[in-house]
Structure 1
Amino acid sequence: MTDQEHTPTPTASGNADSHDADSHPEWTVQSSANDITLVLRGQWTIDDGAALAIPDDALRTGAPKDGAAQTLHVDVSGLSQWDSSLVSFLWTVKQAAARGKMNFDLAQLPDGVQRLFALLPAEPEPPAQHPKKPFAPLRTTGALTLDTLDEIGALTELGAQTARGSVKALSGHGGMRLRDLFVNIFDAGPSALMIVSVVNFLVGAILAFVGAVQLRKFSADMYVANLVGIACVRELSAVMTAIIMAGRTGGAYAARIATMLGNEEIDALKVFGIPVSSYILLPSILSLMLMMPLLYLYGSGMSIIGGYVVATGMLPDVTGAGYINQTLGAIDLTQFEFGFAKSIVFAAMIGLTSCQIGLNAGRSAADVGTAATRAVVVGIVGVIALDAIFAVIANVLDI
């Protein structure tokens, strides 16, 4: 008979009494011709340092002479207390016995261990295999196209509902509350003046600085006013203001609606028959469409002031009166009309996409942040894409 004994290493140094020594969990493998016995002694608890697995080579024995399968018995006569660590250890013993083609005898185990073993599967579950996605460019392109068409359809439907709601609100039969409209107007307008002022002022100053450096080489210092005025009124003020509102207001709309969705406030409105498009979405979108053109005009003025400060400070030949006179001569009403129209379209796009993203968000706290981030990204990219379309239209119409 061969014995293999394992005793955990004591975790504390010094002299230990006999009681502590007896309480340490230990196991011993005793093998004979056709039987193997696993002897367990001590307290098999996780606090006492019980082993959670048996080594792979602990049950390796020679084949029996008669060719019969060996049986693994468990002797628990020296076992005192135990917890789930014993079940974990015996589970690995069972797997090792199965790999060695041995029969595992559970008869001598405590009743609680046997009941827990009955809950375990016969074989350990294999690790999940993640299916590899085949390379299918046509399928991917088709799915992306369908998703895009679904989003366009949802936005179109949301825009139609908002338009109908605005008509009803003007006639006094809509579900929009004026108080909500005024609150959203304040959030989208006066509350954004500071950041719109700073950004547009700096944009105008940067344009004037770059233009002054280059135009000075050609003795065309006065045309800095033309550069700043036309660039800001026609393009930059509308685009920069829209980007600011996409990051500031569009993300707030998406986060607010996603939070209401997670708190089941949207579901409550639907149960009571209150149209969400009129009660929640219309004040947000309408306030943004009302305030964006005004912010564009304000931003254009701040850009011109920024250019004025830099040009009069850097260029000795440019006076304040001359800069203003040159700016008024370079900008005509058509430039303001073009920028005014772009700002309204930008506002409608930001409001609709932000609200739609908020309505399609999940119901967890993480989904609120995801919806806000997605609304900002979609808003900024959409503003730049729409500005490119407006540039093509302006070129075709020779504006």
Structure 2
Amino acid sequence: MTNAQPPLPSEARTAPPGGPEWSLDVHDTTMVLYVGGNWNSRSDDIPVFDTEHLNGGTPCKSCVIDTQALGRWDSGFISFLWDVKQKVAAAQLELDDSALPPAARNLLSLLPQKAVEVAADYKKPLPFFEKVGDKTLQTLEETGTLTDLGIQTVKGTLQALRGKSRMRVKDLATDIWNAGPSALLIVGIVNFLIGAILAFVGLIELRRFAAEIYVANLVGIACAREISAIMTAIIMAGRTGGAYAARISTMQANEEIDALQVFGIPVSTYILLPSILSLSVMMPVLYVYGTLIAILGGFVVSMTMMSTSAIGYWVTTINGVSLHEFVFGFVKAFFFAGYIGLTSCRVGLKAGRSAADVGIAATRAVVIGIVGIIAMDAVFAVIAKVLDF
């Protein structure tokens, strides 16, 4: 508050030009606090309200503030009044501030009777079993939240197919472009190099057994069944998943998510559904594209190190890689996409509201996505072994 002369009652006396002063007087069951002078926080002479009259042994039931001699005041006067308010409340007395200037009375009413105690930053570490139990409960809670989010996504997809969804087609088209055609270059380069590396390593080893031609089977089966799906998913987790988390956490920081909820617009349908659906649609397509590019990379390396004809290499690849290998990789790519979309959006919704939290959310989404993809691939390997697929 700036130094300003507050309005005074018509019967108020002219305040002396001196510094801030206060005194305390007792009249029967009423304690009167007289304040006068100019209360300027810049002068560093604001007195402290420290009196022994409030410490028991007094028949007073209330404390009245008299401001007839009050001059100019600013935030220093409010600070003094808050000190008075706290100590009067601690002495179980009623504070009558009706004589205060309206502005001062309004400001004082905003302050509590007791200062809020700030908790210490240090927290005693939990015992081992309590920490394990706490982490387990948090994991189960997040699993339930992700499951619910996935169910809402499926329901939103069914509603979109019936034309009853609030999802905007423009948002879906934009996300499909960002998750598909925009990622072709990076997916193609990585898978081409992976296929070339596999062919190079395979040729070196198979040459010892005079079985160089089987490098076509090695590259084709490895890329179609495992490597292309995993590498494409890792690329999309770092590229698209991180972008989803950063975008949603930025909306959280700008309070756009709160605005949608206030207007009754479901976030799961309006924001999350286009992101998850576009990634689920484009990831299998990118997997097929990446597998073909990886096989092409193996073909290029093989042609520079082998004497086999190009037609012979492609015939060996077609005969050695069956269709069910592509089906298995296609299904894995679809589940990888759903996992990346759900976890990235969930991380974005859980992010804080500062600029630093945006970067933290993006990093966390990438890490969770990559680790989860590797874990899911291990589960798929066990399932394939059990089903003899």
Same fold (TM over 0.5): yes
- The separation in 1 between residues aligned to 2:135 and 2:312, in whole angstroms, is 55
CA offset digits 1:308-344 (Å, max 9, x no partner): 000110122x221111011001111100110010000
Correspondence 1:288-367 to 2 at 5 A? 288-316=279-307, 318-367=308-357
Structure 1 residue 373: Cα displacement? 0.4
Q: Hey, what's the Cα distance between the residues in 2 that align with 1:223 and 1:261?
A: 53
Which of 133, 147, 161 is the matching residue for 2:125? 133
- Give me the identity figure in percent: 62
Q: Counterpart in 1 of 2:147? A: 156
- Indicate the residue corresponding to 1:198 in structure 2: 189
**Distance change >3 Å, CA 283–CA 218, structure 1 → 2:** same
Distance in structure 2 (CA, Å) of the matches to 1:191 and 1:185: 9
* One-letter identity of the residue aligned with 1:340: F
Cα distance in 2 between the residues matched to 1:219 and 1:376: 43
2:142 matched to 1:142? Answer: no
CA distance in 1, matches of 2:172, 2:207: 49
Which letter maps to 1:335? E
Aligned pair count? 282
* Residue equivalent to 2:204: 213
1:33-52 matches, cutoff 5 A: none
State the match for 2:376 in structure 1. 386
CA shift at 1:129, angstroms? 8.3
Gapped regions of structure 2 (runs ≥ 5): 1-41, 45-76, 84-119
State the secondary structure of the residue aligned to 2:265. coil
Structure 2 SS opposite 1:179: helix
> 2-side partners of 1:174 and 1:200: how far apart?
36
After superposition, give the CA deviation of every residue in 1:96-152 in whole Å (9 maximum; x if it has no partner): xxxxxxxxxxxxxxxxxxx9xx99xxxxxxxx7835425x22111101100100110
**Counterparts of 1:189 and 1:129 in 2: how far apart (Å)?**
46
Match of 1:183 among 168, 174, 188: 174
TM-score normalized with structure 2 length: 0.69
Residues 1:270 and 2:265 are matched in the alignment = no
| Equivalent position of 1:230 in the other structure | 221
Secondary structure at 1:173 match in 2: coil
Asked if 1:174 corresponds to 2:165, the answer is yes
Cα distance change on mapping 1:130 and 1:265 into 2, 3 Å: closer
Distance 1:252 1:291 in 2: 16
Give the direction of change, closer, same or farther, for the CA distance of 1:298–1:364 in structure 2 (3 Å limit): same
Equivalent-residue separation in structure 1 for 2:144 and 2:268 (angstroms): 16
Residue 27 of structure 1 is matched in structure 2 by none
Q: CA RMSD in A?
A: 2.4
User: Residue 10 of structure 2 corresponds to which residue in structure 1?
Assistant: none
1:189-210 per-position Cα deviation (integer Å, ceiling 9, x unaligned): 0000000000000000000000
Point out where structure 1 has 5 or more consecutive residues left out of the alignment.
1-81, 85-114, 120-127
State the structure with more CA Rg.
Answer: 1
Give the whole-Å Cα distance in 2 for the aligned partners of 1:304 and 1:345: 23
Deviation at 1:367, TM superposition (A): 0.6
Whichever residue aligns with residue 125 of structure 2, its letter is K
